[in-house]
Amino acid sequence: MVLHIATSEDGFIATEDDGLDWLPQPNEVEDFGMKAFMRTVDCVVMGRRTWEVAQTLEENPFEAYDRHVCSRQSGRAEDLVHSLKNKPGGVIWLLGGGHLNASLLEAGLIDTIVITKIPVTLTNGIPLFGTLGADLPEGWHPTTKRDFDGEIVQTTWVR
C-alpha cells in the first residue's frame, strides 16, 4: 500500500473545512509524477470525507479504479486493507484522510509513503496523520527526492 499525498509545508493535507484550493493543479507540462504513478494503481482506499471532497470535483480521477471508502462506522479499515493486500493486482493507493492514514500507519499496513510538499503554510487544518500529527515515526527513511518548479519537493519514504 502506498500513501501518495500532498501536504503543506507545515504538514497539513487540507484546511479545516477540507479545502484544497492551496494545491497547485497538474497541467500538460507538469503533473508531479501523477500520471506515471496512477498507471501502477489497481485500487484506491480513502476516508469518507476525502470521498465526499472527490465527489465535488469536475472530473472524478478515481472512476477507473476499484474504490473503497472507509469510515469509522463501516468497520475496521485494517481488515479491508489486509484482504486487499492478499489479492493479486497493482498498487493500493491510500489517499487519506488523516485519521485513516494514522490508523493504517500504526497497523503497519503502509509500505511506501510519497509526500509532495507544497511551499504553503496553512498554520492549521487536517494533519497528515490525524491526531498523530505530521511526522513520520522512527524507522522510516527517504529513498528518493524529486524537485519540481515552484519549490515543490516530492520525497519517497520506506520502512
Ordered by where they begin, the domains of the chain are 2-16+30-158 (3.40.430.10)
Q: Which long-range contacts (CB under 8 A, 24 or more apart) does 133-139 make?
A: 133/11, 134/7, 134/10, 134/11, 134/12, 135/11, 137/105
Span 98-108, average pLDDT: 94
pLDDT at 25 over 90: no
pLDDT at 153 over 90: yes
Please write the tens of the pLDDT for every residue from 35-92. 899 999 999 999 888 888 887 777 777 888 899 999 877 668 999 999 999 999 889 9
At residue 68, the 3 state secondary structure works out as: strand
Residues 56-82: b if buried by 16+ CB within 10 A, e if exposed: eeeeeebeebebbbbeeeeeebeebbe
Q: Which pLDDT value is given to residue 75?
A: 66
Residues in the chain: 159
